[in-house]
A and B are shown apart, each in its own frame.
Chain A
Amino acid sequence: DIVMTQTPLSSPVTLGQPASISCRSSQSLVHSDGNTYLSWLQQRPGQPPRLLIYKISNRFSGVPDRFSGSGAGTDFTLKISRVEAEDVGVYYCMQATQFPLTFGGGTKVEIK
């Protein structure tokens, strides 16, 4: 199974300041079809997860442009350019290149 490792576990951020979350996979996420199926999900308190970013850097419908994804191979990053109060929650990276799908352990974003 592909192991997804996220850092940091927790990220206290001042409103309006940037935040960055890293995700590393135990093996390359490049699929045989040439795509890299790395996604980022947000889970607000008491809510189900919500897709933010798919295939490394594609924002899903309705996702604000302060969220961006980057990376390649085994190293990926989610950036929030200016954190807002509604961004509080846990963020997960997820790989769908190979079964079983696997998730990172999550990064909690909170306001300082």
Chain B
Amino acid sequence: QVQLVESGGGVVQPGRSLRLSCAASGITFSSYGMHWVRQAPGKGLEWVAVISYDGNNKYYADSVKGRFTISRDNSKNTLYLQMNSLRVEDTAVYYCAKDGSLDYWGQGTLVTVSS
């Protein structure tokens, strides 16, 4: 079955960096675009970024553009989100999700940005 497992979350001070990972199994990872979506505590869903199946195309939400970088390693079936210059408002559970319709989601990893 399809499994997406995020890791790398934690508590970090404003201005610092963090890298999230999403390990995929049960799918031909290299065939699908992948997304990051976040959810601030008690709030709704906010799309963060997408990367094409081959890594050649990437799009970002304006709120993270220039600070976050999405990437993937198809040889390791892993998606990444490099988050730099973190702000308090980046505090959220970060989910990875598969493909255009976001048909499979991971359990999420919590990122807390606090001094």
Contact = CB atoms under 8 A, between A and B. Distances in A.
A50 B35 contact: no
A101 B47 contact: yes
A102 B104 CA distance: 17
- Interface size of A as a range: 20 to 34
Interface in B71-115: 95, 97, 100-108
Contacts of B97: 49
Interface in A70-112: 92, 94, 96, 99-106
Interface string A34-67: 0001010100000011110011000010000000
A55 B103 CA distance: 12
Contacts, number: 56
A94 B98 CA distance: 14
Contact of B102 (A39, A99, A102, A104): A39
A100 B44 contact: no
A96 B100 contact: yes
Interface of A is mostly: loop
26 contacts: A37-B100, A37-B101, A39-B102, A48-B95, A49-B95, A49-B97, A49-B102, A51-B102, A51-B105, A54-B103, A55-B101, A92-B44, A92-B45, A94-B45, A94-B102, A96-B100, A96-B102, A99-B50, A99-B59, A100-B59, A100-B62, A101-B35, A101-B37, A101-B50, A102-B47, A103-B45
Interface of B: 35, 37, 44-47, 50, 59-62, 95, 97, 100-108
